[in-house]
Amino acid sequence: MTRTIGIISGKGGVGKTTITANLSVALSLKFAKKVTAVDCNLTTSHLGMHFGIFFYPKTFNDFLKGDVAINDVTYQHATGVNILPASLNLSDLVGINIFEIREKLQNSLTHSDFVFLDTAPGFGKEALSAIRACEEALLLTTPELPSVTDILKAKNILQQMNVRCLGVIVNKVTGKKFELTKKEIEETVDIEVIGQIPFSFEFSESLSNKTPLVAYNQMSRASIEIFKIAAYLIGENYKEPSLFEKIFSRIFKV
């Protein structure tokens, strides 16, 4: 059965695209799942860049316009993840009825175990049309009040749209005293925090190397937290690498 999961946040820059790419690769690499990642952020599309794909003959936009089949806009990355990139060209928005994402995607990606929808920030029609297309959702926030308050709005929208909330992921955690803690976030939004990903410049480094961090450095603290979230999604436990495994991997670069 295919699970269609939206990665959602109110604010931009919280890490939706980064988490979409890394969770997709984590499930594919570590847990041998068939994963498709779809760029539903049509106005500011970035998903393809996380996989080092910048130019594509056909994009998700063409599929939404009805010009081509889904296979024509599906690109497989070396990690095994299938990506449906949106066009980088704004003029390719012409002729798209964004509210049709749900109907267009329905029954199109049944070969995947997981379909992740990277969404636009906020709750305008671009984001809402993607939320409408998912059955489940992960809510993303940073450990700061403005971002956390947006989670409350997202929670209401999910309820109205009958989308199951899988939990909150807190991203860019530094552990500084002024940050909201896991407990404070859970008390504020009344949703379980299922993962906390540390702030790490490795995300920028891996982006510039055109490879999601979980593939670029599997042993990094941030990668391990993403593997744990991936394991949670499939009801498994992720066994953290031992200190020996980390040292071995650092020395031999495996």
Ligand X SMILES: Nc1ncnc2c1ncn2[C@@H]1O[C@H](COP(=O)(O)OP(=O)(O)O)[C@@H](O)[C@H]1O
Span of 12-20, 62-70, 193-201, 239-247 interacting with Mg ion by CB under 5 A: 12-20
Measured from the CB atom, is 199 or 232 closer to ligand X?
199
214 touching ligand X, by CB under 6 A:
no
Choosing from 207, 226, 229, 230, the residue that interacts with ligand X (CB under 6 A) is 207
Choosing from 200, 217, 218, 220, the residue that interacts with ligand X (CB under 6 A) is 200
Q: Shortest distance, CB of residue 111 to ligand X, whole angstroms? A: 26
Total residues binding ligand X (CB under 6 A)? 19
Compute the 3-state secondary structure of the chain and give helix, strand, coil in percent, each to the nearest 5. Answer: 40, 15, 40
- Round to whole Å and give the CA distance between 138 and 125: 19
Q: Please report, as a single letter, which amino acid is at residue 39.
A: D
Q: Answer whether 119's CB lies under 8 Å from 41's CB.
A: yes
What are the start-end ranges of the E strands in the chain?
3-8, 35-39, 75-76, 82-84, 114-118, 136-141, 164-173, 193-198
17 touching Mg ion, by CB under 5 A:
yes
Of 70-99, which residues contact ligand X (CB under 6 A)? none
18 touching ligand X, by CB under 6 A:
yes
Q: Would you call 28 helix, strand, or coil by DSSP? A: helix
Residue whose structure tokens are 């059965």: 1
Q: Shortest distance, CB of residue 252 to ligand X, whole angstroms? A: 26
Choosing from 199, 205, 240, 249, the residue that interacts with ligand X (CB under 6 A) is 199
Write down the number of H helices and E strands in the chain. 11, 8
228 touching ligand X, by CB under 6 A:
no
- Round to whole Å and give the CA distance between 9 and 2: 23
226 touching ligand X, by CB under 6 A:
no
203 binds, among ligand X, Mg ion, none (CB under 5 to 8 A by kind): ligand X
Of 166-195, which residues contact ligand X (CB under 6 A)? 171-172
Instruction: Give backbone dihedrals phi and psi of 113, rounded to 5 degrees, phi first.
Output: -80, -40
Span of 76-84, 108-116, 130-138, 199-207 interacting with ligand X by CB under 6 A: 199-207
Chain centroid to CA 173: how far?
Answer: 17
Closest CA to 21 of 37, 42, 9: 37
13 binds, among ligand X, Mg ion, none (CB under 5 to 8 A by kind): ligand X
Q: Shortest distance, CB of residue 150 to ligand X, whole angstroms? A: 11
Residues that bind ligand X (CB under 6 A): 9, 12-18, 46, 121, 171-172, 197, 199-200, 203-204, 207, 222
